[in-house]
Structure 1
């Protein structure tokens, strides 16, 4: 990790984290897994100026020929519709659900079909309880979801990183892991939440076929909202741009929260062609995940 920082009076008042990677001697930016948004974080007393944003765009353009993707955060609203000079910008969307209302109000905000499905799920006698078994969550995901995701590396990258993140977040009191048990006492779904700066972030989840059929994730989310209702917090679904997921998360009454992502590719044409050929060869030769998630 590197960073752009703004210093005033001998202290940092703003910082832009930079996930720098290197390949063939080239430094480039690439958004890491489990960090949907980065961007500028700053002290409330020193909000960024238009000159700050222009300087950030200038420095990124100057130091990085390639940005595979870099996401600013939902608090960097000044960039929406404006972008960053010299960089390609696209608006992405996550979904937020404020926790300040009473639970009855939150429940009334669910779409009718979500309330009906939730009632059906609750009739299955699921038991919701805390957990600290991150390996169980990884297994649920690896066996039931990972086989549908092309290009996932697994234990050598994403799962190792997830375990490390959970260990550090739990140590700092920032992580919550919850599971749903069936009436037959099997763990059929789990969710991992991070809490920081009045936000509850829906970081990761996993569910078996039985968990999906039972609507266990809906129950886990509903129990989270029940727990945190009336708190001065906001639940961030960290939605990916997958239509089915968007429909599911928005059914809880959450609202769109846009943020800007930027890319850049200023490599010379011959280098871009070589890079494209290498990626195509890698995708052709890389084995697809087995149906059992192995």
Structure 2
């Protein structure tokens, strides 16, 4: 059986494979490249996996992060985590099977705290941060940790907008891309890409859209929540620059948290990482805990590395 077929079977029984690493999610995000996976076994049973996304640029094949995928990296079954000799053995087996590429770049899951086998193979690492709320089922405790300024913004926003879920994907995309236009940046994904992802998430029952709409039927802000068996992720958000003063974006963040707690019954909410000072301050004011994750990379081609540096 081919590795991807075996991985599909593995994901059907593994208890907590993150949504970003599910085969159907990677299928939906693989435009412009292909995804593949390497597997490690114990006694003939798959117990660890490392999915990766490959692209081609001229003669160079390289591993990078696909659109909409915040984290990948090695996944180990729970019974093999935290036991360093076994973790090292399994990770070394995964690394040994990676294809020859010009470069490798991945954001590991925040749950991965051991990248030592990659260090031993001359990979390098930078620590980034995401922000997470834990014990989410106790929503009263979460609410008590929200800063007074955030609570005020939520209260004021409720006076100006209502939260709905039934607007079109096209409307979501329009408002979401306004945030990039305001910063003079191109949208990082196209509407067809977003439609493809949304169709896959909707089929899996793993997403909800949020719209903040006023009495004039204007959409102030949008948010896009996805989830797996353990965690809800604040994947996408955006505001109409002319309507940002309403605070609707803060309200939608809170509504997404409440949805993850009360509707989904999950215990962890991930705002997704940002190293920007302004974003960090807001996440912390929601009571979220700074959580590190590893960006792991390696250049195997000096020429490709040089070309990447010249492109910056």
SS at match of 2:227: strand
TM-score by length of 1: 0.82
2:16 alignment partner in structure 1: none
Unaligned runs of 5+ in 1: 281-294
The yes-or-no answer on 1:264 pairing with 2:298 is yes
Would the alpha carbon gap of residues 52 and 194 (structure 1) be closer, same or farther in structure 2, given more than 3 Å must change? same
1:284 alignment partner in structure 2: none
Deviates more, 1:142-151 or 1:9-18: 142-151
CA distance in 1, matches of 2:117, 2:280: 22
SS at match of 1:117: helix
Deviates more, 1:231-240 or 1:12-21: 231-240
The yes-or-no answer on 1:186 pairing with 2:221 is no
Paired residue for 1:52, among 90, 93, 107?
A: 90
Would the alpha carbon gap of residues 16 and 151 (structure 1) be closer, same or farther in structure 2, given more than 3 Å must change? same
| Over 4 Å off, 4+ runs | 57-60, 80-84, 151-154, 271-277
Would the alpha carbon gap of residues 190 and 71 (structure 1) be closer, same or farther in structure 2, given more than 3 Å must change? same
Would the alpha carbon gap of residues 84 and 75 (structure 1) be closer, same or farther in structure 2, given more than 3 Å must change? farther
Unaligned runs of 5+ in 2: 1-34
SS at match of 1:246: helix
Please say if residues 66 and 263 of structure 1, whose CA atoms lie closer than 8 Å, have aligned partners that are also in contact: yes
The yes-or-no answer on 1:142 pairing with 2:184 is no
SS at match of 1:138: helix
The yes-or-no answer on 1:213 pairing with 2:245 is yes
1:253 alignment partner in structure 2: 287
By percentage of residues, which structure has more helix?
2
> Deviation digits for residues 75-121 of structure 1, max 9, x if unmatched?
11123898453011001111111253533221110122222222222
Please say if residues 130 and 179 of structure 1, whose CA atoms lie closer than 8 Å, have aligned partners that are also in contact: yes
RMSD over aligned CA atoms reads 2.6
> Deviation digits for residues 1-41 of structure 1, max 9, x if unmatched?
11111123444221111101112232211111211110112
Would the alpha carbon gap of residues 242 and 160 (structure 1) be closer, same or farther in structure 2, given more than 3 Å must change? farther
Paired residue for 1:39, among 73, 97, 100?
A: 73
Deviation at residue 237 of structure 1 after TM alignment: 0.6
Would the alpha carbon gap of residues 248 and 84 (structure 1) be closer, same or farther in structure 2, given more than 3 Å must change? farther
SS at match of 2:79: coil
Deviation at residue 259 of structure 1 after TM alignment: 1.0
CA distance in 1, matches of 2:49, 2:221: 37
Would the alpha carbon gap of residues 80 and 276 (structure 1) be closer, same or farther in structure 2, given more than 3 Å must change? closer
2:112 alignment partner in structure 1: 76
2:261 alignment partner in structure 1: 229
1:241 alignment partner in structure 2: 275
SS at match of 2:171: helix
Please say if residues 58 and 85 of structure 1, whose CA atoms lie closer than 8 Å, have aligned partners that are also in contact: no
Would the alpha carbon gap of residues 23 and 186 (structure 1) be closer, same or farther in structure 2, given more than 3 Å must change? same
